[in-house]
Amino acid sequence: MALTKWKERERQQRQNDIIDAARKLLADRDFDQVSMDEIAGQIGLGKSTLYLYFKNKESLYFAIVLRGIRIWAEMVKKEVKKGNTGLEKFKLYGKANRDFSNKYPDYFRLLYSPTSIRKQFDMDKMSSSEEFQEVRELFKEIMSIGIDFIQKGIEEGEIRPDVDPTEATILLSVIYNGKVNMGDWAKELLENRGIDDEKFSKDIGDLFIHMIVKDTD
Amino acid sequence: MALTKWKERERQQRQNDIIDAARKLLADRDFDQVSMDEIAGQIGLGKSTLYLYFKNKESLYFAIVLRGIRIWAEMVKKEVKKGNTGLEKFKLYGKANRDFSNKYPDYFRLLYSPTSIRKQFDMDKMSSSEEFQEVRELFKEIMSIGIDFIQKGIEEGEIRPDVDPTEATILLSVIYNGKVNMGDWAKELLENRGIDDEKFSKDIGDLFIHMIVKDTD
DNA sequence: GTTATATTACTGACTAGCTAGTCATAAATA
DNA sequence: TATTTATGACTAGCTAGTCAGTAATATAAC
């Protein structure tokens, strides 16, 4: 019985290897542009083998995304505990997002693809994937956290009451979405001014807070 | 001579038709997902015919993008004339961006693709395209306009001096980039709160101004 | 402890279908 | 008749997914 359990772990490890190989390849190319052959080749397997671990390509894709969003959700939940007021917690919420995007850029980029470049997917295969549903739920959960803290901040009088919590939270997400997909031309402009990615990230965070707090000085 | 001129117009008209058909198809699908066959079929032509008007697929793509960015640049330049101070002009700059995204959503979405999803393109073919170079120049020009007005606004004391003009302008562009590519899940959250796209656009604009002006009240 | 059997892990070759781009030929027009 | 415009059939190459059969490992029998 311990044996079958060990077998199970072995199997999960292999599944893990596949996910990892695919993630690396998908970090800078689109779903359509990475073939199952290439993913399999990356870890010295035949393509057919992938289908023993994943129903189809979409399923593999969302397995990666799911892994990423789980990490994201975890980081957010952990970070916001450090704050007390709504504003504090929302600042930490923003920081967690930034940290995640810096620490796991591959996942982060990937995470914004399925929701935005959804047209590349076969909707039927997508919906049938359990992973897809969980990703969707976690996304909504993460958004809810931000929304609640802005709401709290408004009630506590630190955030302007005319700020719509949903809009502001989505805007934060929109900014990160835009930033990861930012084109080379924009990057060039920043570099010419001596602004690296990290500084830009941080400054965006600061600007965002200016956007919602009651008093700027 | 008048005849050859008419011929030339005829040719341009046809080229125009192709661009238009392609634009419509590319509005909600990726470069890779729209075939030359489909574009040609859309206006009752054979695929081979497209190659009489465009060197290759990339060239056709950038012809569309070029058309779009020309309209965008024109709208921006026209709108900002209405203002006087730097802040006023930057507000109009933001408005022009918003108007363009509302009036020509297809172009707008497309415009952010080549810079972000550049990995789908064959770089050699891309660079060799004259259209690509002009698109690049116009993009930089549009960014410069925003940067200059924020700078002016700072000098005039209406915009906070700790705002970096380049960062802020790029951020505006990043926001629009993110917004056009915003996923269905985020859209859903907004809809559930009764916020339609137009309201969200406008509110983003207002929030953005809060981000940079000196005094909020 | 060795051999036979059952289970599991894996893969090469294949199907069916799609793609961009070419080119000799045909149609339309000057 | 000459020129421009258009195309159908083709090449060469790629893709996801399948499946019969092979290799490796685990269990059972002797």
Nearest to A21 by CA among A56, A52, A63: A63
- Whether B52 sits with its Cβ under 7 A from any strand D atom: the answer reads yes
* A40 and A74, same domain (yes or no): no
Average pLDDT of the segment spanning A156-177: 95
Tell me what pLDDT residue A1 has. Answer: 40
Q: Does B163 touch chain A (CB under 8 A)?
A: yes
* B60 and B161, same domain (yes or no): yes
Residue B1 in this model has a pLDDT that exceeds 90:
no
Tell me what pLDDT residue A2 has. Answer: 44
* B146 and B201, same domain (yes or no): yes
* B15 and B91, same domain (yes or no): no
* B63 and B110, same domain (yes or no): yes
Tell me what pLDDT residue B128 has. Answer: 64
Residue A152 in this model has a pLDDT that exceeds 70:
yes
Residue B37 in this model has a pLDDT that exceeds 50:
yes
At B8, is the pLDDT very low, low, confident or very high (cuts 50, 70, 90)? confident
d(CA B40, CA B44) in angstroms, rounded, equals 6
Domain boundary among A20, A38, A53: A53
d(CA A127, CA A132) in angstroms, rounded, equals 6
* A48 and A80, same domain (yes or no): no
Distance, Å, B49 CA → C27 C1': 14
Name the average pLDDT for chain B: 89
Which one of A119, A136, A203 has the shortest CB-CB distance to B167?
A203
pLDDT digits (tens, 9 = 90+) for B148-204: 999 999 999 999 999 999 999 999 999 998 898 888 889 999 999 999 999 999 999
Residue A116 in this model has a pLDDT that exceeds 50:
no
Q: Does A172 touch chain B (CB under 8 A)?
A: no
pLDDT digits (tens, 9 = 90+) for A188-209: 999 999 999 999 999 999 999 9
Tell me what pLDDT residue A78 has. Answer: 98
CATH number for position A35: 1.10.10.60
CATH number for position B173: 1.10.357.10
Question: Would you say residue A72 lies in a domain?
Answer: yes
Tell me what pLDDT residue A121 has. Answer: 66
**A174: distance to nearest CA of chain B, Å?**
5
Query: What domain range is A73 assigned to?
Result: 57-212
* A84 and A191, same domain (yes or no): yes
Please tell me whether residue B213 adopts helix, strand or coil conformation: strand
Question: Would you say residue B217 lies in a domain?
Answer: no
User: DSSP alpha helices (H): ranges in B27-129?
Assistant: 36-42, 47-53, 57-80, 86-103, 105-116, 123-128
Residue A126 in this model has a pLDDT that exceeds 80:
no
* B121 and B203, same domain (yes or no): yes
What's the structural domain count of chain A? 2
Under 8 Å between Cβ of A18 and A50 = yes
d(CA B77, CA B97) in angstroms, rounded, equals 11
From residue A202, give the alpha-carbon distance in Å to each of A150, A161, A176, A208, B23.
19, 25, 12, 10, 37
**Bigger pLDDT: A30 vs A82:** A82
Residue B2 in this model has a pLDDT that exceeds 50:
no
Phi, psi of B131 (to 5 degrees): -55, -40
DSSP per residue, B126-172:
HHH-HHHHHHHHHHHHHHHHHHHHHHHHHHTTSB-TTS-HHHHHHHH
Q: Which residue of A lies nearest to B164 if distances are taken between CA atoms?
A: A203
* B14 and B82, same domain (yes or no): no
Tell me what pLDDT residue B114 has. Answer: 60
- Whether B44 sits with its Cβ under 7 A from any strand D atom: the answer reads yes
Q: Which long-range contacts (CB under 8 A, 24 or more apart) does A140-145 make?
A: A140/B185, A140/B189, A141/A73, A142/A69, A142/A72, A142/A73, A142/A76, A143/A169, A143/A170, A143/A173, A143/B185, A143/B186, A143/B189, A145/A76, A145/A77, A145/A80, A145/A93
* A23 and A96, same domain (yes or no): no
Tell me what pLDDT residue B27 has. Answer: 87
Pick out the nucleotide with least CA–C1' distance to B36: C20
Residue A124 in this model has a pLDDT that exceeds 70:
no
